[in-house]
Structure 1
Amino acid sequence: MVSRVIPVDNFDLVIFGGTGDLARRKILPGLFRRFRAGQMPEDARVIAAARSEHDDASYRSEIEAAIKEFGGAESKDRKGLKAFLERLHYVAVDARGDGGWQQLKDLMRDGVVRAFYFSVAPGLFGDLAERLHTHGIADRDSRLVVEKPFGRDLKSARALNATLADHFNEDQIYRIDHYLGKETVQNLMAVRFANVLFEPLWNSHYVDHIQITVAETVGVGGRGSYYDKSGAMRDMVQNHLMQLLCLIAMEPPNQFEADAVRDEKLKVIRALQPIDSHHIVRGQYEASEKTASYREDVENPKSTTESFIALRATIANWRWAGVPFYLRTGKRLKARSSEINVVFKDLGHSIFEGDEARHRNVLTIRLQPNEGIDLQVTIKEPGPGGMRLIDVPLDMTFAQALGDEADDVTDAYERLIMDVIRGNQTLFMRGDEVEAAWAWTDPLIEGWEARHDVPKVYDTGSSGPEDSLMLMHRDGRRWRDIKG
């Protein structure tokens, strides 16, 4: 099976914050891989814009080192790397002044897609958008890519959307969430809407509950100052986990088109019910022999910010009435794992007795690591001795199913940037979608702040605080084990 690489239109991509960590680790190594795959036109260009004083040569040298560090095995292609670096340019700009903007304008070409990637703090979005407009660099066909956080609450999200809307139309704005670019996330839509096997079962008649887990083994690292003002709810639940929930729960769109898909996601968010305080568990990791505690990592001995959160959500519509959605995410957990588990109901009647009757089908979508999908089914255990039932997975791990082609599965950032050039907004969040997510999230945060809730401590390398287990146990359910 051979991958199909579909070239995109010729483009000039300007990366504001082109010397930053995201550009060095993700954006530019990803573009290099797309270049090697033959997806970038020969004269497509990438223009970095930042405060640092670089010329083209010194910037190319810096990015060469970054690609060698973060670009994987493909970075050993010296000829390809040299050819890619020749497409990089650098302009020093002042985001809040006039310095460098004329030089940037002079570099831009007519007749190609113009895309602007704001890999900077949200506080600079308005300044950059205004100067792109004032200096005549962006036009009606230009595209704007913005990174999260999209505000820290509903008020700031509305203000941010209004700032961008002063100079760009909604169909020009691409709010990027790299989780939506993952191969398995997109396969979730294919599994649901391209297979007669699953969609008839995708409702409260057959599904008992759904679990969404995003577990990390790392702590907050160098993001302590940001993270302590954000926490797991703002950093992960309001965006990443919310998007996964929407894709799992949404109604089939009438076509696979950007606004049709996003309309259905928005309906899910607006149907989410308020959550009682006893259906939310917040936690902070403790120190271990080798690692610091959360409070030590963020250098705030009195911090009440959560590094872990688990909650039970419900959706008020016909499809999901009575089906709980359990979401959890945290740092310093036992394994790095992101997966969705659709747990189906018991049979209406089982011909087997005792323990042999207690088996459930589970569809697992693994986002990381070892991307893939498996379906847990019940069979007879081989051998004599009567009817003993066991659960086995029907496994489609991409590395096994696709062989060598699995190595070519595109990184999320690569896919999303190419979608920007194509003008495809399907995997990007719309402004009203972001605001609806904050409208649901804000009361939860305000509630625990008003109650002066303190997060429960949990051991590094565990599955989170004990109270998160009780969240499920009270409903007669249990979390699926976190496996790397």
Structure 2
Amino acid sequence: MQTDSSFTFVLFGGTGDLSMRKILPALYEAHRAGGMLADSGKIVAVARHVADRADYLEWVNEHVKPHVSKNGVDETAWASFLDRIEFVKIDLGKAEDFALLRDALSGRPGIRVFYLATGPSLFVPICRALASVGLNENSRIVLEKPLGYDLKSSNAINDAVGEIFAEEQIYRIDHYLGKEPVQNLLALRFGNVLFEPLWRREWVESIQITIAEELGVEARGDFYDNTGALRDMVQNHLLQLLSIVAMEPPHSMDSDSVRDEKLRVLRALKPIDPRDIGKVAVRGQYHSGVIRGSAVPAYATEPGVKPDSTTETFVAVKVEIENWRWAGVPFFLRTGKRLADRVAEIVVNFRAVPHSALGASALRGGANRLVIRLQPNETIRLYCLAKQPGEGMNLASVHLDLAFDRFFREGQMEAYQRLLLDVINGRLALFVRRDEQEAAWRWVEPILDEWAASHKPPKPYAAGTWGPAAASAMLAQHDTCWLEEEN
């Protein structure tokens, strides 16, 4: 993934939490690895909360260092990384300040990347201000989620940004698509003949996709209370992961071939009848509880949250895909805050054998299973049955590991690092195209509308549990359960 391409990476929201925790650490890791970033490449941070470059570098030293390199900071690499960083003080509310940015970027070789690590309300004003000073040419723009509040607002942002930047210049980022196991899922499916005959309704009983968090809303109460789990996680991360799991083999791995196949999945999602939403969608809100021995407060008492809030912090939904490969196979999506563990995983449950001479254990649903763990430990495991040592034919579940560190000396690349390198090098395959985003919003909106119209509060669940019991009951109707319940 080496590049000789010169670039200028302009980071709006340069003092923000996302920049400190993810973006600058990812750029540092690429710099430290050597050869991934052109020597001439520069990072220009844009903010108004610090006075000058010296103050900004002091801020970076304090807030970025704790988030880089699990094995510690290489001080030599860190010093040369800081040499890449420049700073321009801009008030994003003042379009005339962008002339300062234009002057700072004047005469620089290579592509310009504008990363908008800001609230979505600033996306359009920033893009218009960039265009007003001629900075929308020879450039790429990276948009963080959430992109809008619903289909209408999402379209409004996309329309406005699309008047300034061409679609091939727009990188809508979803960091889950950059995770190593997601890439390996593509390799597993499309690089090996073994799984393709099994990857269909005849052999797959159900699929679960979970993104669970132990954390609450932290300092994001104001934002989260106006967003909720369905908008924050399901509309983007979970539906994107579903489309990767369920897509047909693309013609090639170029950006449009991959995204065309993902779009076909999103357009094949079975529309949910509003009368059935109570049966196929569960929403919950965490109350006080205990996580890892520490008491945590209820969502309604978090800073920035309305005391009578009906915003959901948990969603479980059953999804069906209306095509020949997946007809009749339920996909169960789940996400929530203040759950029992921090985990993101894809679970493919294969059907039990139709008849077994080895006893009832060979007929258990879930004995044959593929688990793709995205976090905290990125692994792929294939579960199957094997005979236990000793007398008799007693079967037990065992697993085969795809252990990356045993086969590859180089460490796994973090999701943001991969995606930022893709932006710099002009690779769009792992970024969300506008028509994908519209299809996802179109499918989600009936659930949002029904929940808003019903005025029913979310189902309560104690912090430190796996969410409302109704989420388990929904799977029980299909004679299955969530992975942690079986274990």
With normalisation by structure 1, the TM-score equals 0.95
SS of 2:171 mapped into structure 1: strand
1:296 equivalent in alignment to 2:301: yes
Which residue type is aligned with residue 7 of structure 2?
Answer: F
Contact 2:3 2:425 (C-alpha < 8 Å) held by counterparts: no
Aligned residue in 2 for 1:115? 113
Contact 1:310 1:328 (C-alpha < 8 Å) held by counterparts: yes
Calculate percent identity across the aligned residue pairs.
Answer: 46
CA distance in 1, matches of 2:256, 2:362: 47
Over 3 Å counting, the alpha-carbon distance change for 1:149 and 1:356 in structure 2 is closer
SS of 1:233 mapped into structure 2: helix
Q: Could you tell me which of 369, 376, 387 is aligned with 2:383?
A: 376
Question: In the TM superposition, what is the alpha-carbon distance from 1:87 to its structure 2 partner?
Answer: 1.2
RMSD of aligned Cα (Å): 1.7
Aligned residues: 475
Q: Could you tell me which of 125, 129, 137 is aligned with 2:123?
A: 125
CA distance in 2, matches of 1:482, 1:397: 25
Which residue type is aligned with residue 311 of structure 2?
Answer: T
Aligned residue in 1 for 2:135? 137
Over 3 Å counting, the alpha-carbon distance change for 1:205 and 1:335 in structure 2 is same
Question: In the TM superposition, what is the alpha-carbon distance from 1:74 to its structure 2 partner?
Answer: 5.9
Alignment of 1:83-482 (within 5 A): 83-108=80-105, 109-139=107-137, 141-275=138-272, 276-277=276-277, 278-288=279-289, 290-297=295-302, 298-358=304-364, 360-384=367-391, 386-399=392-405, 401-402=406-407, 405=410, 408-481=411-484
Moved more, 104-113 or 366-375: 104-113
Which residue type is aligned with residue 468 of structure 2?
Answer: P
Question: In the TM superposition, what is the alpha-carbon distance from 1:94 to its structure 2 partner?
Answer: 2.7
Contact 1:33 1:74 (C-alpha < 8 Å) held by counterparts: no
CA distance in 1, matches of 2:66, 2:424: 26
Contact 2:356 2:362 (C-alpha < 8 Å) held by counterparts: no
SS of 1:72 mapped into structure 2: coil
Aligned residue in 2 for 1:6? 2
With normalisation by structure 2, the TM-score equals 0.94
Over 3 Å counting, the alpha-carbon distance change for 1:328 and 1:208 in structure 2 is same
Contact 1:36 1:80 (C-alpha < 8 Å) held by counterparts: yes
SS of 2:64 mapped into structure 1: helix
Once the two structures are superposed, residues 310-350 of structure 1 have per-residue CA deviations (whole angstroms, 9 ceiling, x without a partner) of 11110000000110001111111111111001101111222
Question: In the TM superposition, what is the alpha-carbon distance from 1:274 to its structure 2 partner?
Answer: 2.2
Over 3 Å counting, the alpha-carbon distance change for 1:316 and 1:267 in structure 2 is same
Alignment of 1:32-51 (within 5 A): 32-38=28-34, 39-51=36-48
Contact 1:64 1:81 (C-alpha < 8 Å) held by counterparts: no
Over 3 Å counting, the alpha-carbon distance change for 1:208 and 1:92 in structure 2 is same
CA distance in 1, matches of 2:309, 2:284: 11
Which residue type is aligned with residue 120 of structure 2?
Answer: P
SS of 2:374 mapped into structure 1: strand
Question: In the TM superposition, what is the alpha-carbon distance from 1:32 to its structure 2 partner?
Answer: 0.8
Over 3 Å counting, the alpha-carbon distance change for 1:180 and 1:482 in structure 2 is farther
Question: In the TM superposition, what is the alpha-carbon distance from 1:357 to its structure 2 partner?
Answer: 3.4
CA distance in 1, matches of 2:158, 2:9: 22
Contact 2:225 2:305 (C-alpha < 8 Å) held by counterparts: no
CA distance in 2, matches of 1:437, 1:63: 36
SS of 1:100 mapped into structure 2: helix
Contact 2:354 2:363 (C-alpha < 8 Å) held by counterparts: no
Question: In the TM superposition, what is the alpha-carbon distance from 1:73 to its structure 2 partner?
Answer: 4.4
CA distance in 1, matches of 2:309, 2:319: 26
CA distance in 1, matches of 2:128, 2:284: 41
Question: In the TM superposition, what is the alpha-carbon distance from 1:352 to its structure 2 partner?
Answer: 2.7
Question: In the TM superposition, what is the alpha-carbon distance from 1:356 to its structure 2 partner?
Answer: 4.5
Once the two structures are superposed, residues 95-146 of structure 1 have per-residue CA deviations (whole angstroms, 9 ceiling, x without a partner) of 232443222112213431111111111111111111211111231x310001
Question: In the TM superposition, what is the alpha-carbon distance from 1:56 to its structure 2 partner?
Answer: 1.6
CA distance in 2, matches of 1:247, 1:318: 17
Which residue type is aligned with residue 444 of structure 2?
Answer: T
Which residue type is aligned with residue 178 of structure 1?
Answer: H
Which residue type is aligned with residue 256 of structure 1?
Answer: M
Contact 1:335 1:483 (C-alpha < 8 Å) held by counterparts: no
Question: In the TM superposition, what is the alpha-carbon distance from 1:402 to its structure 2 partner?
Answer: 4.2
CA distance in 1, matches of 2:441, 2:4: 34
Q: Could you tell me which of 42, 45, 59 is aligned with 1:62?
A: 59
